[in-house]
Amino acid sequence: MDEKTLNILKGFPLKKISILTLYFMLTSCIEQGNIIPSDINTNIPFDPKNPTPIPTGSATAAPTSIPGPGGGSGAGTAPGCTATANVLCKGGYDSDNTRKSLKVKVVYGNQAGSRLTNDPLSHAKNFITSVNSNYVHQGHRYMNLELDESKVIEVDQESDSVMIEKYTEAGYVTMILVASIPGSTVGYVQHMCAKLQNKEAWTIFEFPYVANGVVEHEINHLFCFPHTSRANGGNPTTFLGGYNPTSKILSNVGALKIPFTPDFKLFIDPANSSNTSVTYDNMLYFTGNLMYYSVLPSRPKLFTTHGEGYPYSYSHLIDYYYWNFLKPHAK
Amino acid sequence: MRNNLYPTVVLILISLNALGSDCTFNLIKNEVTKFHGPEWSKISATCSKSIIKSYLKEIITNPENALIEYDLEQQKFIFRNSIKSYGHFGTKNSDLNLLSTIYDDHNRQLHRMFGKDKNLFRITVLEAMANTGNLEALTLYQKIFENDQNELFLQQYALDFSAWIFEGSPLVQQENTLEGSKIYSEIFFPNLETNAETRYQNHPHLLDKIMEKKLIIKNILLDLANRPERFKAIYSSIRSLQKIVDIDEQNQSPNTLNPNNEHFQQIEKKSNPLENTTVRTSQFPKRDLANEKERQEKSLVSWVSILLAICCSTIFILRYKKRKD
């Protein structure tokens, strides 16, 4: 050790060195001790409170979509899937020569001493059939949810995070039904543009309310669908308002995981109205559809809203999810 | 004729009361139709609590008329949100009585709306009672967990929500309210943000009432604990509430819910229809015993590491000093 260093050390009394060492050890050890418990998932892909969200996808990465010989790839090879305004993309499931369904697992979280339903298999078949009817438009099926009957299970209800950890499965959409979720929400998802291989495609709901459109609404968030308005009806701070490329809309909330090729536009109402009618690219966008943030009296299915705008955008969005997320990773 | 006119008259009266303001019935319905629940704080400047409560009361007492533009499945959902919210704004004994009337379902409203799921919906009514923060909710809960004619899970929820009345809502601090689209749901618990002793700190007679309620419930829980044949599946809820009402955990009496208690172990060995059922981990108590043990172990490792580090660094410094000398 050189003389300079020795002199520096000499200037520090023993007590100060011990305190400094202790402080260093304490801070590093305490950080080790404050390990976030594994049952708390901190992966929030979209954070409305974060003014500068970090995109989760790479803008320059090559698309990972696998072109199908028969149709859409999310990369514009299917007839109509070129993101040309006012041209419906007949992509997704029916455009694929080797069609792939998205398998669904349903978990019934029974309350103490009772069952949510005496016939979970029938119950699951019925509501999955209803949800699945959202993905047909003009005789073309964009996505096919297929109930895996061997994975309709009953368990004892536990906390949301415990059930999610235990029962979600890679390559599946996992739907967990429980008697009650304390607090405001009746059901929720965590991941927008859910990566199936990472067990992100799950939803959790209160059992009595699976037939009112809430399940369909929430599942579509997994498939990259945003609300038709900027937020949950509160201060408009979340999505970009107006008519913008969908990649930009999703990137804004940190939900863009795989690039769009080609990109297409989607309208988000800045005023949070359920009956906004605006026209862009000769297409009427009417916000009162399934992706509005509230239950609506007309109870629309995904494509059954008047106007061409949302059916156009949604047809591209499902095609994008099918080829980039579902086809490579669904079971 | 009278039944058809009455809801209209009520709505007119409420609207007259709100005359000159923008607080309309539609504004309230806009909130209770949201998928992730109402955001009452956002309209608090427009609508007074009493007006909101009046409109909510109209929905929960007469949903078929108040929500006539919605189909039945949607009415169920909106009714749910309205009931839960009613507790935030209805804090009086009369409000609890209304919720109790809905719970009892003498007019078969719940039966008409929910059919065989009506007992599941009763959980929502119990939660609304807790949302009032009113100590008299404990009396209603007591009637439920004392009476085995209620479903076991309703007895469990009555126990859990009793804990809310005493301790405040666990949702105020729960981390997973920030998960995904659940972010959009509002954390709004105006009557349950603190524990009962804090809420009523300026009301000595209510502080006395809290103690009285705790004593009553403490004794009831001792009885429940003595019946593992029925209550084994909800031990975690009984135990959590016992801790709140300050049962002595070291008491080795056979009536105490103590897993080390020999009497308890003997009863557990008997065959039980719930034997193969995983004990439900209640999501209401803040303490997760499995994770807490893990955290304690990690904390112990941290402290041992700190002590070792101090020893090593002291030895190093002393040796350096000695070498220098």
pLDDT in tens, A95-105: 999 999 999 99
Tens digits of per-residue pLDDT, A15-53?
444 454 544 444 444 333 322 223 333 333 333 333 332
- Average pLDDT value over all residues in chain B: 81
Length reported for chain A: 331
Which residues in chain B touch residue A113, judged by CB atoms under 8 angstroms apart? 151-153, 233, 274
Which residues in chain B touch residue A112, judged by CB atoms under 8 angstroms apart? 152-153, 156, 233-234, 280
Q: What is the DSSP string of B144-197?
A: HHT-TTS-HHHHHHHHHHHHHHHH--GGGT-GGGGSGGGGGS----TT-SS-HH
Supply the pTM of this predicted model.
0.76
Q: How remote is the C-alpha of A285 from its chain's centroid?
A: 22
CB contact B301 to A (< 8 Å) = yes
Residue B21 has pLDDT above 90, yes or no: no
Distance from the Cα of B96 to chain A's closest Cα (Å) equals 18
Tens digits of per-residue pLDDT, A192-201?
999 999 999 9
Beta bridge mates, A147: A104
Is the CB of residue A154 less than 8 Å from the CB of residue A84? no
pLDDT, average across residues A211-226: 90
CB contact B291 to A (< 8 Å) = yes
Which is more confident, B53 or B302?
A: B53
What tokens does A64 get? 């990972």
Is the CB of residue A91 less than 8 Å from the CB of residue A74? yes
pLDDT of residue B324: 62
Is the CB of residue A178 less than 8 Å from the CB of residue A136? no
CA-based radius of gyration for chain B: 25
Which residues in chain B touch residue A45, judged by CB atoms under 8 angstroms apart? 180
pLDDT, average across residues B42-56: 94
Which residues in chain A touch residue B153, judged by CB atoms under 8 angstroms apart? 111-114, 179
CA geometry: angle at B268 spanning B290 and B254, to 5°? 90
How many Cβ atoms sit within 10 Å of the Cβ of residue B191? Answer: 20
pLDDT, average across residues A277-295: 94
Non-local (6+) Cβ contacts of B55 within 8 A are: B14, B25, B28
Which residues in chain B touch residue A188, judged by CB atoms under 8 angstroms apart? 36, 179-182, 185
Distance from the Cα of A34 to chain B's closest Cα (Å) equals 8
| Residue B35 banded pLDDT, cuts 50, 70, 90 | confident
Which residues in chain A touch residue B186, judged by CB atoms under 8 angstroms apart? 184
| Interface touch B30/A179, C-beta < 8 Å | no
Tens digits of per-residue pLDDT, A142-184?
999 999 999 999 999 999 999 999 999 999 999 999 999 999 8
| Interface touch A14/B321, C-beta < 8 Å | yes
Q: What are phi and psi of A279, to 5 degrees?
A: -120, 130
pLDDT, average across residues A234-248: 84
Distance from the Cα of A235 to chain B's closest Cα (Å) equals 8
- Nearest chain A residue to B78 by CA: give it: A295
| Interface touch B120/A116, C-beta < 8 Å | yes
| Interface touch B77/A295, C-beta < 8 Å | yes
pLDDT of residue A319: 94
What tokens does B13 get? 């009266």
Non-local (6+) Cβ contacts of B74 within 8 A are: A212, A213, A295, A297, A299, B33, B67
Which residue from B117, B179, B187 is facing A41, i.e. has the nearest CB? B179
- Nearest chain B residue to A253 by CA: give it: B180
| Residue B287 banded pLDDT, cuts 50, 70, 90 | very low
Is the CB of residue A203 less than 8 Å from the CB of residue A190? no
Tens digits of per-residue pLDDT, B131-177?
999 999 999 999 999 999 999 999 999 999 999 999 999 988 776 55
In whole angstroms, how far apart are CA A241 and each of A11, A29, A119, B62, B260? 62, 46, 44, 38, 61
Which residue from B36, B81, B277 is facing A156, i.e. has the nearest CB? B277
Residue B291 has pLDDT above 70, yes or no: no
Which residue from B33, B73, B283 is facing A294, i.e. has the nearest CB? B33
pLDDT of residue B175: 61
The DSSP call for residue A281 is: T
ipTM: 0.77
Q: What is the DSSP string of A222-277?
A: HTTPPPSBSSSSSSS-SSPPEEEEHHHHHHHTT---S--SS--EEEEBTT--TT-E
| Interface touch A157/B280, C-beta < 8 Å | yes
| Interface touch A29/B314, C-beta < 8 Å | no
The DSSP call for residue A52 is: S
pLDDT of residue B322: 72
Which residue from B120, B180, B279 is facing A188, i.e. has the nearest CB? B180
Least confident of A118-122, A256-260, B1-5: B1-5
Is the CB of residue A163 less than 8 Å from the CB of residue A109? yes
Which residues in chain B touch residue A185, judged by CB atoms under 8 angstroms apart? 35-37, 181-182, 184-185
Tens digits of per-residue pLDDT, B206-226?
999 999 999 999 999 999 999
| Interface touch B179/A190, C-beta < 8 Å | yes
Express as a percent the part of chain A with pLDDT over 90. Answer: 57
Which residue from B34, B156, B302 is facing A112, i.e. has the nearest CB? B156
Distance from the Cα of B218 to chain A's closest Cα (Å) equals 22
| Interface touch B80/A186, C-beta < 8 Å | yes
CB contact B71 to A (< 8 Å) = yes
The DSSP call for residue B309 is: H
| Interface touch A184/B185, C-beta < 8 Å | yes
Q: Which residue has the tokens 């209209």?
A: B8
| Interface touch A40/B176, C-beta < 8 Å | yes
- Average pLDDT value over all residues in chain A: 80
pLDDT of residue A297: 86
* DSSP three-state, residue A293: coil
| Residue B18 banded pLDDT, cuts 50, 70, 90 | low
Non-local (6+) Cβ contacts of A94 within 8 A are: A71, A140, A141, A142
Tens digits of per-residue pLDDT, A57-93?
333 333 333 333 334 455 445 667 888 889 999 999 9
Which residues in chain A touch residue B170, judged by CB atoms under 8 angstroms apart? 182
Q: Which residue has the tokens 């059992």?
A: A207
Numbers of helices and strands, H then E, in chain B: 16, 0
For residue B25, the one-letter residue type is F
Best to test chain B binding among A1, A14, A185 (most B CBs inside 10 Å): A185
Least confident of A257-271, B73-87, B223-237: A257-271
Q: What are phi and psi of A212, to 5 degrees?
A: -110, 10
pLDDT, average across residues A184-208: 94
CB contact B272 to A (< 8 Å) = no
Is the CB of residue A77 less than 8 Å from the CB of residue A226? no
| Interface touch A161/B176, C-beta < 8 Å | yes
Q: CA-CA distance, B152 to B141, in Å (whole number)?
A: 13
Which residues in chain B touch residue A154, judged by CB atoms under 8 angstroms apart? none
| Interface touch B123/A234, C-beta < 8 Å | no
pLDDT, average across residues A238-246: 91
User: CA A166, A167, A171, A175 torsion: positive or negative?
Assistant: negative
